[in-house]
């Protein structure tokens, strides 16, 4: 690109270029991005900074923190991935997505600074996020780890506080095939002498041990803070610092959202001296938080549920949530997944919940074909009718055509699937 006017490139052109720049779509490691970040003087982050890692619950936790600190009047910057509908969603300032122009300007700076250093698509995006956020006067910055933790591009940032959400099996090829191994990778975001909150009450020993060896102060769900439901009231309570705090349930639907909220409240408590937040502001944030694609319910005839669940733990939670929202009529699945996921383990808990399957091929890199999904369902013993489609929009359109007004459509399996379903 050095012989081309960088000012003339659109966001689409920049993203296409980045995908061609590095021979591998994913290559873990911090050396490349550290070099370029140093040239751009992107570290350290000037604002209070929280880095969030985990298998499930990262996006929900960041959305809750964003809503709480926004309710308290603070300026909040977020970097999350992947996006659902538009690349610009990956960076938000006070809840508003960054502009295409700001991304293009950041990409131009990165291209000029990187020299001969090859960057992956995600590394380019992470540097752009840090560049955009660094140009804002923010009180707090929330950064979501893309994959793992220890070797993820986001981990060039020394956060003031680390948050680890639920840990389960995902990304086996890069992170390992056990919770202990994966936990060790997530634990890589910890920093010596700084607090780390873990929302997983059955956290792998590797997480606890890494905190001990490193000298990071661990706040573990079920130990340093704990959650209690408050039936028959709709709220819940959290015990921390020897006191009990009663709060409303978060607006995000799902059986694991109270656990996510508890870890978020612990984070807020730990930062009180730097960023004071009242109990009312915490409550306001929880009841007003929004996040598309996380058991997102849409009224209609038929109704529709959108969920990005794409690993076994998330799919078990989806099955539990669907059990709480039975349709009057039938339930139809629209499914698209990536081929490197544990598709069988994902579909097993959902097998008996659907009356029909509309399977869509994903054209994205690593996308599974509808035929591959069908083979898995048949292998699991599914007896429900199965229809194959070349794309998610086609599958959604046909599912609507097949459905009666009191039926329920459930679109799930990947960010790509939910994003293309609209």
pLDDT-derived band at 105, boundaries 50, 70, 90: very high
Q: Do residues 134 and 187 both lie within one domain?
A: yes
pLDDT exceeds cutoff 60 at 11: yes
Q: Is residue 313 assigned to a domain?
A: yes
- Residue 104's domain comprises 6-288
Q: Do residues 377 and 265 both lie within one domain?
A: no
Q: Do residues 347 and 409 both lie within one domain?
A: yes
- The pair of structure tokens assigned to 413 is 């399996």
The domain spanning residue 321 has which CATH number? 3.90.190.20
Q: Do residues 256 and 337 both lie within one domain?
A: no
Domain-ending residue, one of 258, 288, 318: 288
Q: What's the rounded mean pLDDT across residues 395-407?
A: 97
Predicted pLDDT of residue 177? 66
Q: Do residues 182 and 138 both lie within one domain?
A: yes
pLDDT-derived band at 176, boundaries 50, 70, 90: low
d(CA 408, CA 406): 7
Q: Per the structure, how many domains does the chain have?
A: 2
Predicted pLDDT of residue 420? 95
d(CA 11, CA 101): 8
Q: Tell which residue, 101, 189, 93, 103, has the closest CA to residue 141.
A: 93
Q: Is residue 1 assigned to a domain?
A: no
29: Cβ contacts below 8 Å, ≥ 6 apart: 151
Predicted pLDDT of residue 2? 46
Predicted pLDDT of residue 3? 46
Q: Do residues 344 and 308 both lie within one domain?
A: yes
Of the listed ranges 67-71, 253-257, 348-352, 368-372, the least confidently predicted one is: 253-257
pLDDT above 90: percentage of residues in the chain? 85
- Give 354-357 contacts, CB < 8 A, sequence gap 24+: 354/384, 354/410, 355/330, 355/331, 355/384, 355/385, 356/330, 356/332, 356/384, 356/385, 356/386, 356/387, 356/399, 356/402, 357/332, 357/333, 357/382, 357/384, 357/385, 357/386, 357/387
Q: Is residue 334 assigned to a domain?
A: yes
d(CA 414, CA 286): 25
d(CA 214, CA 364): 39
Residue 31 CB neighbour total at 10 angstroms:
9
Q: Do residues 76 and 20 both lie within one domain?
A: yes
Q: Do residues 253 and 328 both lie within one domain?
A: no
Of the listed ranges 3-7, 44-48, 151-155, 268-272, the least confidently predicted one is: 3-7
pLDDT-derived band at 61, boundaries 50, 70, 90: very high
Question: Taking the model in full, what pTM does it have?
Answer: 0.94
Q: Do residues 253 and 321 both lie within one domain?
A: no
Q: What's the rounded mean pLDDT across residues 138-162?
A: 95
d(CA 335, CA 325): 19
Predicted pLDDT of residue 172? 56
Domain-ending residue, one of 272, 288, 304: 288
Q: What's the rounded mean pLDDT across residues 74-96?
A: 97
pLDDT-derived band at 101, boundaries 50, 70, 90: very high
Predicted pLDDT of residue 283? 97
- 292 Rama sector, left if φ>0, alpha if ψ -120 to 50, beta otherwise: beta
3-state secondary structure 160-176: CEEEECECCCCCHHHHC
Domain-ending residue, one of 268, 288, 308: 288
pLDDT-derived band at 254, boundaries 50, 70, 90: confident
Contact of 284 with 271, CB cutoff 8 Å: no
Q: Do residues 181 and 206 both lie within one domain?
A: yes
Q: Cite the beta strand spans of 89-166 per DSSP E.
A: 91-93, 96-97, 140-144, 161-164
Give whole-number Cα distances, 262 to 45, 280, 355, 373, in Å. 26, 15, 36, 36
Q: State the burial class of residue 351 (Cβ atoms within 10 Å of its Cβ: 0-12, 13-18, 19+).
A: middle
The domain spanning residue 228 has which CATH number? 3.40.1190.10
Pairing status of strand 195-198 against strand 296-298: unpaired
Predicted pLDDT of residue 5? 62
Q: State the burial class of residue 371 (Cβ atoms within 10 Å of its Cβ: 0-12, 13-18, 19+).
A: exposed
Q: Do residues 239 and 310 both lie within one domain?
A: no
Q: Do residues 202 and 311 both lie within one domain?
A: no
């Amino acid at each position: 690109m050095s012989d081309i006017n960088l000012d003339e490139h659109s966001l689409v052109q920049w993203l296409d270029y980045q995908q061609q720049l590095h021979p591998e779509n994913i290559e873990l490691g911090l050396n490349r991005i550290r070099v370029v970040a140093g040239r751009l003087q992107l570290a350290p982050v000037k604002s209070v900074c929280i880095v969030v890692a985990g298998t499930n619950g990262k996006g929900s936790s960041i959305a809750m923190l964003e809503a709480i600190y926004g309710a308290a009047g603070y300026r909040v910057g977020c970097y999350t991935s992947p996006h659902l509908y538009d690349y610009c969603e990956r960076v938000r300032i006070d809840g508003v997505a960054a502009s295409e122009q700001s991304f293009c300007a950041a990409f131009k700076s990165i291209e000029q600074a990187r020299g001969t250093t090859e960057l992956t698509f995600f590394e380019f995006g992470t540097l752009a996020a840090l560049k955009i956020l660094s140009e804002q006067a923010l009180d707090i910055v929330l950064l979501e780890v893309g994959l793992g933790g220890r070797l993820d591009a986001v981990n060039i940032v020394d956060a003031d506080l680390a948050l680890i959400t639920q840990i389960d099996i995902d990304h086996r090829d890069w992170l390992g095939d056990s919770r202990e191994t994966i936990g060790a990778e997530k634990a890589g975001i910890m920093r010596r002498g700084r607090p780390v909150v873990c929302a997983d009450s059955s956290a792998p020993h590797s997480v606890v041990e890494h905190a001990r060896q490193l000298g990071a102060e661990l706040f573990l769900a079920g130990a340093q803070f704990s959650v209690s439901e408050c039936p028959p009231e709709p709220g819940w309570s959290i015990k921390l610092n020897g006191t009990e705090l009663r709060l409303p349930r978060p607006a995000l639907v799902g059986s694991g959202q109270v656990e996510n909220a508890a870890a978020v409240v612990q984070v807020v408590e730990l930062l009180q001296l730097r960023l004071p937040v009242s109990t009312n502001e915490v409550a306001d944030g929880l009841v007003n938080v929004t996040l598309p694609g996380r058991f997102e319910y849409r009224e209609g005839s038929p109704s529709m549920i959108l969920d990005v669940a794409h690993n076994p733990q998330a799919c078990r939670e989806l099955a539990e949530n669907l059990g709480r929202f039975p349709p009057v009529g039938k339930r139809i699945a629209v499914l698209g997944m990536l081929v490197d996921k544990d598709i069988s383990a994902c579909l097993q808990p959902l097998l008996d919940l659907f009356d029909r399957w509309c399977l869509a091929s994903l054209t994205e890199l690593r996308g599974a074909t509808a035929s591959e999904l069908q083979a898995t369902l048949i292998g699991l013993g599914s007896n429900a009718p199965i229809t194959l489609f070349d794309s998610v929009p086609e599958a959604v359109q046909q599912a609507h055509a097949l459905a009666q007004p009191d039926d329920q459509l459930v679109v799930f399996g990947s960010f790509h699937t939910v994003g293309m379903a609209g």
